């Protein structure tokens, strides 16, 4: 049994106010204790480890120097906020991170007054911070607003829109660029190369010149501590950097693990800055935990792990994950068709495109955290006769929606959208749930919208998307492993707009869109046991709908249930719309549409979430019984 880390100093710091009493010289010790506490907690819960380890000193320094929560501290993405949670009254619950009823893995307004802005999607912190800074000025309150943003998140257009606006407004906003030279994967793009150049010292200026500059700008004399810090940091970059051109006073790079560097700079900025300031802080992802420092992904996201060895617990998979089936299928198809290209927005491994990157590096593009650009970049490739697979998680595709509408769908360009993490994702909670893609895509003219019921279907859909060149096409599939069906050697080309009957019955029809199919089949067993002959169909397409299939189900059954892992407005709504326009609802058919509940469902395991949503075997049986005016009593496993 491993014992908890000894944390005598941390035990005295429950809130940032307690931190004010800790001597500057003891802060490195506190940092070690926060690190140990965080490592121990995440070893039990799993979660984001590397990013938080990299900002321990920065988080302590900010809370030491600034007056949170009156001063507003915003973490971009929020996945690096575990040290912040430990220091802001949530340490006693830190081992509930990402668990059902536990702390969120991100910042969350409802959770603490120290989280003034919720996050999880990246690159929002400068906009939100600017709004707070301007709001505070308008209200006549004098407070500091600090946005901490990573170099990966800085690659998104939204961050630049905010910088541009902040420079023009000349608002009193402090942006801390946390540069660890990593996104989830190594960062890509000219921006990361630019930051690396700044950090490598090419543009450093001398200490004396720096002193003059800071004095001139901040209107205060540079004290001895800051002069020392400047020396230690090898200098500051100022003058002519991109951030300065945008209207920011640019300080750095400084060593983000040294309190000697962080404290004097933050104090000076707090006391003297008047316009927007950007502090470029260099940190190391995974800092202080050797297994993380050595890992290629710096332990960005981990399962539970052994603290001593760093070895992560791996559940034995029963079937390959949807992500890997997609990645393999795409590589296979790319071998047959050299027009296939792959695009990811900073998620090569998460989306399975890493396999394509390894096999066909010149035809695979990691564009950085830039979903909007990814979609329109794919549209451009499609105009040149390529077959772009723009692989973006359901939740992040939301950010590229106008590009899907305006740049892809209106022009009828054949961009393929593989949509991973469709449906509930578990521990990441509502910010990452893939709830809306069917709703927002199936409403677009021209769009073909598919959902895979299992991993073999996914393979068919990859092949179908390769073959379909008449316009945009999407296919959704969930996080996690497949259902264990045998995979075909190669996918088949599906007929567009045709579903399939999986099991024939006569009284109840279950029409599934996506991976709820397996629960439909289980529910059918229970219904049959209760004497209700049940048909199960896999719609495959939400658009175009299989009208013949729907007519057949409607005319020959007493009950028709649609079921999907998506919000209202998706597959079921399209089926109902079609049925009402055809008069199929006019003859006593009992129809129910099962969708995700109209709430932000909190984190839990996906199975628990589906049970809560009523979208599992028991929920389906209950819905059928409800439609028939019966109550469920003693029905097999569903009872």
Ligand X SMILES: Cc1ncc(C[n+]2csc(CCOP(=O)(O)OP(=O)(O)O)c2C)c(N)n1
180 binds ligand X (CB under 6 A): yes
CB of 463 to ligand X, least distance (A): 28
Supply 572's token pair. 């079921």
The answer to whether 125 contacts ligand X (rule: CB under 6 A) is no
User: Measured from the CB of residue 362, what is the shortest distance to ligand X in angstroms?
Assistant: 23
**287 lies in the site for ligand X, by CB under 6 A:** no
94 scored as a contact of ligand X (CB under 6 A) = no
Q: In this structure, are residues 439 and 568 in contact, taking their beta carbons and an 8 Å threshold?
A: yes
- Our finding on whether 66 is near ligand X (CB under 6 A) is no
Q: Got the DSSP string for 550-604?
A: HHHHHHH-SEEEEEESS-TTSHHHHHHHHHHHHTTTTT--EEEEE---SS-PPPS
399 belongs to the catalytic site: yes
Q: Could you say which of 16, 46, 129, 150 contacts ligand X (CB under 6 A)?
A: 150
Q: Which two tokens stand for residue 419?
A: 């949509």
Three-state secondary structure along 169-216? Answer: HCCCCEEEEEECCCCCCCCCCHHHHHHHHHHCCCCEECHHHHHHHHHH
Q: Does 249 contact ligand X by CB under 6 A?
A: no
How many CB atoms sit inside 10 A of residue 134's CB? 17
∠ CA(100), CA(103), CA(107), 5° rounding?
130
Question: Per rule CB under 6 A, is residue 153 in the interface with ligand X?
Answer: yes
56 binds ligand X per the rule CB under 6 A? no
- Is position 281 an interface residue for ligand X (rule: CB under 6 A)? no
Q: Which of 143, 287, 399, 463 is catalytic?
A: 399
Length of the chain as a residue count: 639
Interface with ligand X includes 74 (CB under 6 A)?
A: no
Contact by Cβ (8 Å): 463, 410: no
Query: What is the spatial distance between Cα 582 and Cα 118, in angstroms, rounded to a whole number?
Result: 45
77 binding ligand X? (CB under 6 A): yes
Selected from 122, 136, 435, 515, the binder of ligand X by CB under 6 A is 122
Which residue is nearest to ligand X, using beta carbons? 150
Rank residues 51 and 329 by Cβ distance to ligand X and give the closer one: 51
80 sits near ligand X (criterion: CB under 6 A): yes
Residue of 121, 261, 574, 617 interacting with ligand X (CB under 6 A): 121
Cα(39)–Cα(85) distance, integer angstroms: 14
Using a 10 angstrom Cβ sphere, with 0-12 exposed, 13-18 middle and 19 or more buried, the burial of residue 534 is: buried
Which residue in 19, 38, 182, 458 binds ligand X (CB under 6 A)?
A: 182
Contacts (CB under 6 A) with ligand X, residues 292-351: 300, 346-347
Q: How far, CA to CA in Å, does 406 sit from each of 371, 394, 444, 445, 575?
A: 14, 18, 10, 11, 26
Burial code of 213-249, b = ≥16 C-beta within 10 A, e = fewer? Answer: bbeebbeeebeebbbebbeebebbbbeebebeebbbb
How many Cα atoms sit within 13 Å of 602 on the Cβ side?
11
Question: Active site residue: 371, 455, 457, 565, which one?
Answer: 371
- What pairs with residue 391 in β-bridges? 344
Question: What character string, x for contact with ligand X (CB under 6 A) and - otherwise, covers 380-419?
Answer: ----------------x--x--------------------
Interaction of residue 420 with ligand X, rule CB under 6 A:
no
Closer to ligand X by Cβ: residue 51 or 254: 51
**Cβ nearer to ligand X, comparing 121 with 459:** 121
Tell me which stretch binds ligand X (CB under 6 A): 12-20, 144-152, 434-442, 536-544: 144-152
Q: How far is the CB of 379 from ligand X (least distance, A)?
A: 19
> Residue from 72, 108, 280, 285 that binds ligand X (CB under 6 A)?
285
285 is known as an active-site residue: yes
Nearer to ligand X, 121 or 355 (CB): 121
Is 91 among the residues that bind ligand X (CB under 6 A)?
no
Cis peptide bond upstream of 364, omega within 30? no
Clarify whether 371 is annotated catalytic.
Answer: yes
- The span from the CA of 23 to the CA of 482, in Å, is 54
Segment lying near ligand X (by CB under 6 A), choices 181-189, 246-254, 418-426, 581-589? 181-189
Reading across the β-sheet that carries 277-282, which strands appear in turn? 72-75, 145-150, 174-179, 277-282, 249-255
CA 428 to chain CA mean position, Å: 8
Identity of the residue, 176 or 615, whose beta carbon is nearer to ligand X in the bound complex = 176
Exactly one of 7, 107, 125, 183 binds ligand X (CB under 6 A); that residue is: 183
- Phi-psi sector, 97: left (phi>0), alpha (psi -120 to 50), beta: beta
Does position 104 interact with ligand X (CB under 6 A)? The reply is: no
Q: How far is the CB of 176 from ligand X (least distance, A)?
A: 12
Which one is catalytic: 64, 285, 287, 416?
Answer: 285
Active centre residues (catalytic): 285, 371, 399
User: In the complex, which residues of this chain contact ligand X (CB under 6 A)?
Assistant: 51, 54, 77, 79-80, 121-122, 150-153, 180, 182-184, 285, 300, 346-347, 369, 371, 396, 399
């Amino acid at each position: 049994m491993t014992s908890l880390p000894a944390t005598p100093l941390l035990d005295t710091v429950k809130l940032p106010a307690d931190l004010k009493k800790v001597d500057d010289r003891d802060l490195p010790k506190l940092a070690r204790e926060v690190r140990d506490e965080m490592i121990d907690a995440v070893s039990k819960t799993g979660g984001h480890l590397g990013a938080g380890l990299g900002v321990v000193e920065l988080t302590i320094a900010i809370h030491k120097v600034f007056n949170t929560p009156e001063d507003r501290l915003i973490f971009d993405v929020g996945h690096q906020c575990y040290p912040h949670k430990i220091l802001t009254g949530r340490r006693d619950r830190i081992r509930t991170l990402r668990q059902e009823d536990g702390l969120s893995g991100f910042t969350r307004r409802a959770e603490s007054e120290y989280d003034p802005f919720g996050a999880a999607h990246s690159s929002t912190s400068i906009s939100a911070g600017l709004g707070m800074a301007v709001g505070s000025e308008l209200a006549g309150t004098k407070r500091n607003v600090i946005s901490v943003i990573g170099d990966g998140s800085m690659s998104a257009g939204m961050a630049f829109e905010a910088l541009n606006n902040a420079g023009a407004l000349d608002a009193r906003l402090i942006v801390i660029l946390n540069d660890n030279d990593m996104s989830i994967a190594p960062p890509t793009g000219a921006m990361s190369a630019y930051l690396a150049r700044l950090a490598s010292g090419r543009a450093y200026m001398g200490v004396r010149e720096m002193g003059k500059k800071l004095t001139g700008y901040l209107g205060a004399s540079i004290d001895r501590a800051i002069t020392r810090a400047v020396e230690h940091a090898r200098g500051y970059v100022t003058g002519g950097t991109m951030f300065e051109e945008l209207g920011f006073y640019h300080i750095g790079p400084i060593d983000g693990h040294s309190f000697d560097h962080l404290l004097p700079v933050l104090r000076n900025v707090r006391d003297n800055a008047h316009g927007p300031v950007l502090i470029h802080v260099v940190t190391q992802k995974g800092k202080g935990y050797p297994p993380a420092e050595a890992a290629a992904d710096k332990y960005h996201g981990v399962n539970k792990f052994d603290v001593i060895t760093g070895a992560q617990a791996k559940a034995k998979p029963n079937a390959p994950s949807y992500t890997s089936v997609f990645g393999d299928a795409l590589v296979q198809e790319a071998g047959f068709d050299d027009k296939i290209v792959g695009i990811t927005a900073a998620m090569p491994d998460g989306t399975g495109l890493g396999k394509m990157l390894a096999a066909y590096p010149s035809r695979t593009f990691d564009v950085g955290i830039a979903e909007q650009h990814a979609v329109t970049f794919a549209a451009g490739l499609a105009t040149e006769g390529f077959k772009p697979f723009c692989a973006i998680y359901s939740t992040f595709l939301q950010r590229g929606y106008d590009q899907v509408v305006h740049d892809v769908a209106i022009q009828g360009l054949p961009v393929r959208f593989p949509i991973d993490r469709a449906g509930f994702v578990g521990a990441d909670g509502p910010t990452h749930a893939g709830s809306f893609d069917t709703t927002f895509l199936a409403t677009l003219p021209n769009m073909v919208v598919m959902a895979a019921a299992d991993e073999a279907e996914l393979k068919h859909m990859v092949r179908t998307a390769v073959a379909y060149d008449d316009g945009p096409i999407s296919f959704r599939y969930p996080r996690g492993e497949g259902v264990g069906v045998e995979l075909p050697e190669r996918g088949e080309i599906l007929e567009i707009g045709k579903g399939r009957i999986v099991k024939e019955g006569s009284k109840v029809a279950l029409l599934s869109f996506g991976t709820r199919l397996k629960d439909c089949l289980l529910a059918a067993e229970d219904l049959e046991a209760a004497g209700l002959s049940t048909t199960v169909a896999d719609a495959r397409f939400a658009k175009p709908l299989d009208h013949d299939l729907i007519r057949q189900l409607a005319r020959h059954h007493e009950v028709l249930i649609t079921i999907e892992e998506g919000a209202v407005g998706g597959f079921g709504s399209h089926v109902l719309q079609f049925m009402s326009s055809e008069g199929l609802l006019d003859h006593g058919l009992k129809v129910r549409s099962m969708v995700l509940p109209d709430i932000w469902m909190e984190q839990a395991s996906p199975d628990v979430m589906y049970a809560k949503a009523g979208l599992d075997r028991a929920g389906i049986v209950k819905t059928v019984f409800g439609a028939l005016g019966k109550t469920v009593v003693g029905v097999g496993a569903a009872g």
